[in-house]
Amino acid sequence: MTQQPPRNIDEARLLANITTRAQRLFQDGYTLTRQDEHDLIITNDEGDKRYYLSTLFESCTCKCMAIHGTCKHYLGWRKLEETQAEYEAHLLKGYDESEDYGRAVMEESLLRRTCGANI
Ligand SMILES: [Zn+2]
C-alpha cells in the first residue's frame, strides 16, 4: 500500500495523529513478536489485542489499516522492535535508573508477555 498525501484537513489530522502514536508504541506498552522474516505480531498494552503485520505485503489486521490504508502499527513497528530490543538488552545488563523507557507501562507489558498470564 502506498501512502497518499492527505486529501483534506481531517485526513491530515488523522495522519499526524497516527504518525505520532506510531513513534510511541513501546512507551504505550505495545510489544512485538517476530514470527519470521516478514511476519510480526504486535500486542497491545492490555495483552488482549493482537495485530498481525506483514512487512512484505505492507498489511496489518487492525481496523485503521482497513479503513485508512495505514496505521500506527505499520508505521511504528520498526521503532518498536528497536526500542524493545534495546530495552531488553538494557535489562540484561542490569537496571539503570537514569534511562527512561516508559518503564512502568513497559515492565507490566513485558511481564505479561514473558509470563503469558493475566496479571
Ligand atoms: Zn495496524
Tens of pLDDT along 45-95? 888 999 999 999 999 999 999 999 999 999 999 999 999 998 888 778 776
For residue 93, how far is its CA from the centre of ligand 1 (angstroms)?
Answer: 32
- CA 43 to ligand 1 centroid distance, Å: 10
pTM for the whole structure = 0.77
Query: How confident is the model over 5-13, as a mean pLDDT?
Result: 90
User: Which residues keep their CB under 5 angstroms from ion ligand 1?
Assistant: 51, 60, 62, 65, 71, 73
Nearest alpha carbon to residue 64 among 53, 56, 55 = 53
DSSP assigned state of 34: E
Q: Are 79 and 87 contacting, i.e. CB atoms less than 8 angstroms apart?
A: no
| Residues facing 53 on adjacent strands | 40, 60
Please list, in sequence order, all residues whose beta carbon lies within 8 angstroms of the beta carbon of residue 10, skipping any fewer than 6 positions away.
none
Decide if pLDDT at 1 tops 60: no
Residue 119, pLDDT > 50, answer no
